A = this chain, B = another copy of it.
Amino acid sequence: MSQHMAQHMAQAERKLANGKQRIDFNTDPQRYRHWKLAVDGAVATLTMDVDENAPLFEGYELKLNSYDLGVDIELADALERLRFEQPAVKAIVLRSGKPRVFCAGANIRMLAGASHVHKVNFCKFTNETRNAIEDASEHSGQRMICVVTGSCAGGGYELALAADHIILTDDGSSTVSLPELPLLAVLPGTGGLTRVTDKRKVRRDRADVFCTTEEGIKGKRAVEWRLVDEAVSNTKLDETVAARVREFAARSDRPKDGKGVALVPLDPRIAADSRDYKHVAVEFNRAGRLATVTLRGPDAPPPADAAAMTAQGADFWPLRLARELDDAILDIRLNEPDTAAIVFKSEGDPGAVLAHDDFLDRHKDHWLAREIRLKWKRVLKRVDLTSRSLVTLIEPGSCFAGTLAELIFAADRAYMLIGRHDGDNRKPAAIALGAANFGPYPTANGITRLHSRFLADGGQVEALRQSVGAMLDAKAAENLGLVTAALDDIDWDDEIRVFLEERASFSPDALTGMEANLRFGGPETMESKIFARLTAWQNWIFQRPNAVGEAGALRRYGTGQKPEFDTKRV
Contact = CB atoms under 8 A, between A and B. Distances in A.
A455 B201 contact: yes
Contact of A540 (B202, B508, B509, B514): B509
Contact of A532 (B7, B338, B533): B533
A340 B565 CA distance: 12
A517 B537 contact: yes
Nearest to A7: B566
Most-contacted residue by chain B among A201, A289, A339, A457 (CB, 10 A): A201
B532 A513 contact: no
Interface in A325-357: 337-340
A197 B547 contact: no
A518 interface: yes
A554 to B, nearest CB: 10
Contact of A205 (B212, B289, B412): B412
A543 B339 CA distance: 22
Given A208-B413, A510-B541, A3 B193 contact: no
Nearest to A531: B533
Contacts of A539: 536-537, 540, 570
B4 A547 contact: no
B546 A543 contact: no
Interface in A196-253: 196-198, 201-209, 211-212, 226
Most-contacted residue by chain B among A196, A212, A456 (CB, 10 A): A212
A537 to B, nearest CB: 4
A204 B519 contact: yes
B456 A517 contact: no
A211 B503 CA distance: 12
A218 B209 CA distance: 52
Contacts of A513: 187, 537-538, 540-541
A214 to B, nearest CB: 10
A116 interface: yes
Interface stretch (A97-105, A422-430, A521-529): A521-529
A524 B515 CA distance: 19
A141 interface: no
A299 interface: no
A72 to B, nearest CB: 19
- The range of chain A's interface size is 35 or more
Contact of A568 (B117, B453, B454): B117
A79 interface: no
A516 B543 contact: no
Contacts of A203: 453-454, 456, 481
A1 interface: yes
Given A197-B518, A454-B203, A568 B226 contact: no
A406 to B, nearest CB: 14
A285 interface: no
A440 interface: no
A569 B3 contact: no
Interface stretch (A162-170, A178-186, A267-275): A178-186
A198 B532 contact: no
B569 A339 contact: yes
A550 interface: yes
A570 B457 CA distance: 33
A480 to B, nearest CB: 11
Interface string A475-486: 000000100100
Contacts of A519: 204
Contacts of A7: 545, 566, 568
A553 interface: yes
Contacts of A182: 502, 506
A551 interface: yes
24 contacts: A116-B570, A120-B570, A181-B510, A197-B455, A197-B517, A198-B521, A201-B456, A203-B456, A204-B452, A204-B519, A205-B453, A206-B484, A207-B518, A208-B514, A211-B514, A212-B514, A387-B569, A507-B544, A508-B568, A508-B570, A509-B540, A509-B541, A513-B541, A517-B533
The 6 A-B residue pairs with the shortest CB-CB distance in the complex, in nearest-first order = A197-B521, A536-B536, A185-B507, A201-B456, A513-B537, A3-B545
Given A197-B521, A340-B567, A513-B538, 17 more contacts: A7-B568, A187-B513, A198-B455, A198-B521, A203-B481, A204-B518, A508-B570, A509-B570, A516-B533, A517-B533, A517-B534, A520-B533, A524-B533, A529-B532, A533-B536, A536-B536, A543-B544
